[in-house]
């Protein structure tokens, strides 16, 4: 993908790729190696960074070893001694040391300047490198072959046709995976033991041809502070994209949101991507949703048409105070779990070990493969299920007192915590228990969402034609 880049060299030797996930002792680098790595980054020679020797420590102090030839400290020229102090390469712990380069790009207030040390500070590097598992590739998961349901009525046939036209193709997934693999090599030159995961609708089975690619950069096992650590890391990644990969990546933007991301477009695949840091729960829920997607053959067509419907009516945009796609998917799954004759069970209850939050990340992709198809006695058509979904959230679900829980496979009472107080829509994240619909924080937007459920239910009930609530021609053109 990046044929002319000087950065496309494999960051690990083959023997490094054979280790088990999280199996190695913490890996640290000597101060001189870190100084030289930063110096090389600033002087456009990142390819040398892959030659850093990995020094393993236990609880003892760093072992003194000779540096790699590429990073052996260079002797200062005699005429350099006369330079002012700020014109020389600064040493660690020097009182005159300048903040790391990322601090110039994402400025912090004076009192918080060193609340999180700069990326290349000696006290900060262990947090980035420590407990980061050695690189291990997760195989690309292609869609499982399951037969589509039969369509015995016009509305069900319309849903199926829309699904078959707009669903993400294997070729789309492979383009995203190729971009992920290439970017992983590039980013590992900044963070040698990091890994880049493809997450979200691209991999969970609910993607459309127009779906953006979501990427999660994992730099360490523990959570990172999104306001400080994640911003610093993404600032470095953003600069790398702008300076080294501008021929292959366009419009990179650093979005300093509550969960910061880097948005960019890959010129090769012509696809849009969002990249976050250490959103581990996003990796886990990707494979939980994937298991649900292929558990029953009516799930994926129903989810896709509902996402298209919500997007058409402008209630599928968290940045504008409405529902994000993840919440919509959970709402569909919840509805299918709460039918008098359920179409879906709670996978976390039936297979607690397969979907445990404690599972190591390199094993989470195996969980969907271990779940057999679910045989439901419910024979409702796709058309009936779409109509029932709209009715359920229009007049049956109690928004004031209930919370949507896929984990419990039922509506449960709202918690008393501050996160749930004064929230209009409560959708429980299956792993960390947060509210995935917290973006809906204005009553006007909430009323608009409820009103659209009610109007669409009435229209569809009367006409039994998908065009009455979602113009098919426009939806197909958007793919």
The predicted-structure confidence for 320-367, as pLDDT tens digits, reads as follows 999 999 999 999 999 999 999 999 999 999 999 999 998 988 889 988
What is the per-residue pLDDT across 190-199, written as a single tens digit (0 to 9) for each?
999 899 999 9
Q: Please tell me which residue, 366 or 478, carries the higher pLDDT value.
A: 366
Arithmetic mean of pLDDT, 20-28:
34
Q: Nearest CA to 299 among 410, 389, 199?
A: 389
Location of structure tokens 């990046």: 2
Is residue 9 predicted with pLDDT exceeding 90?
no
Cβ atoms within 10 A of the Cβ of 48, count? 17
- In contact, 374 and 345? CB cutoff 8 Å: yes
The pLDDT value recorded for residue 94 is 38
Find, among 164, 176, 166, the residue nearest to 202 by Cα. Answer: 176
Q: Which fold does the domain 154-477 belong to in CATH?
A: Poly(a)-polymerase, middle domain (1.10.1410)
Percentage of the chain beyond pLDDT 90 is: 59
Q: How far, in Å, CA of 306 to CA of 389, rounded?
A: 9
pLDDT at 320: 95
pLDDT value of residue 246: 85
The pLDDT value recorded for residue 186 is 93
Q: What are the pLDDT digits (tens) for 31-71?
A: 443 444 444 445 434 343 333 333 232 333 333 333 333 33
Domain boundaries, the chain: 154-477
* CB-CB contact of 159 with 382 (8 Å): yes
Task: Give residue 139's pLDDT.
Answer: 60
Angle at Cα 37 formed by Cα 40 and Cα 190, nearest 5°?
Answer: 100
pTM, whole model, 2 decimals? Answer: 0.73
Residues 3-8, mean pLDDT to the nearest whole number: 39
Residue 370's pLDDT is what? 83
pLDDT in tens, 160-187: 999 999 999 999 999 999 999 999 999 9
Give the alpha-carbon dihedral of 349, 355, 357, 361, to 10 degrees.
Answer: 180
Residue 445 has pLDDT above 70, yes or no: yes
Indicate whether 422 pLDDT > 90: no
pLDDT at 141: 61
Q: Is the pLDDT of residue 79 over 90?
A: no
Find out whether 205 and 290 touch, Cβ atoms under 8 Å.
Answer: yes
């Amino acid at each position: 993908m990046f044929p002319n880049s000087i950065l496309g060299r494999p960051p690990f030797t083959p023997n490094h790729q054979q280790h088990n996930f999280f199996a190695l002792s913490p890996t640290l680098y000597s101060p001189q190696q870190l100084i030289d790595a930063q110096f090389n980054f600033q002087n456009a020679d990142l390819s040398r960074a892959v030659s850093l020797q990995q020094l393993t420590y236990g609880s003892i102090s760093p072992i003194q070893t000779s540096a790699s030839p590429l990073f052996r400290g260079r002797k200062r020229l005699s005429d350099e001694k006369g330079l002012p102090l700020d014109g020389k390469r600064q040493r660690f712990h020097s009182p005159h040391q300048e903040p790391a380069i990322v601090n110039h790009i994402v400025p912090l207030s004076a009192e918080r300047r060193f609340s999180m040390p700069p990326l290349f500070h000696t006290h900060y590097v262990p947090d980035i490198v420590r407990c980061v598992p050695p690189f291990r590739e997760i195989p690309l998961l292609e869609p499982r072959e399951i037969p589509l349901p039969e369509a015995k009525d016009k509305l069900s046939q319309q849903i199926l046709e829309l699904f078959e036209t707009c669903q993400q193709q294997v070729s789309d997934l492979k383009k995203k995976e190729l971009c992920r693999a290439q970017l992983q090599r590039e980013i590992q030159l900044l963070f040698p033991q990091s890994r880049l995961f493809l997450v979200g609708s691209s991999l969970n089975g609910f993607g459309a041809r127009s779906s953006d690619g979501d990427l999660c950069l994992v730099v360490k096992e523990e959570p990172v502070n999104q306001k400080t650590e994640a911003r610093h890391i993404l600032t470095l990644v953003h600069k790398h994209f702008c300076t080294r990969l501008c021929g292959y990546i366009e419009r990179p933007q650093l979005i300093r949101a509550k969960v910061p991301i880097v948005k960019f477009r890959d010129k090769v695949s012509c696809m849009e991507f969002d990249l976050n840091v250490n959103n581990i729960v996003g990796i886990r829920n990707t494979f939980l949703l994937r298991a649900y997607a292929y558990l029953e053959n009516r799930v994926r067509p129903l989810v896709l048409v509902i996402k298209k419907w919500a997007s058409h009516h402008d209630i599928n945009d968290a940045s504008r105070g409405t529902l994000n796609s993840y919440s919509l998917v959970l709402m569909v799954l919840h509805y299918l779990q709460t039918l008098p004759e359920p179409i879906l069970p709670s996978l976390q209850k039936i297979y607690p070990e397969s979907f445990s939050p404690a599972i190591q990340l390199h094993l989470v992709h195996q969980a969907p493969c271990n779940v057999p198809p679910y045989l439901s006695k419910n024979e409702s058509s796709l058309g009936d299920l779409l109509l029932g979904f709209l009715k359920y959230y229009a007049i049956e679900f109690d928004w004031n007192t209930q919370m949507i829980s896929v984990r419990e496979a039922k509506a449960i009472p709202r918690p008393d915590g501050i996160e749930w107080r004064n929230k209009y829509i409560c959708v429980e994240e299956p792993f960390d228990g947060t509210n995935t619909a917290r973006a809906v924080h204005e009553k006007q937007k909430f009323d608009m969402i409820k009103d659209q459920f009610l109007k669409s239910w009435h229209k569809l009930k009367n006409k039994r034609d998908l065009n009455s609530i979602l113009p098919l021609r426009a939806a197909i053109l958007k793919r």
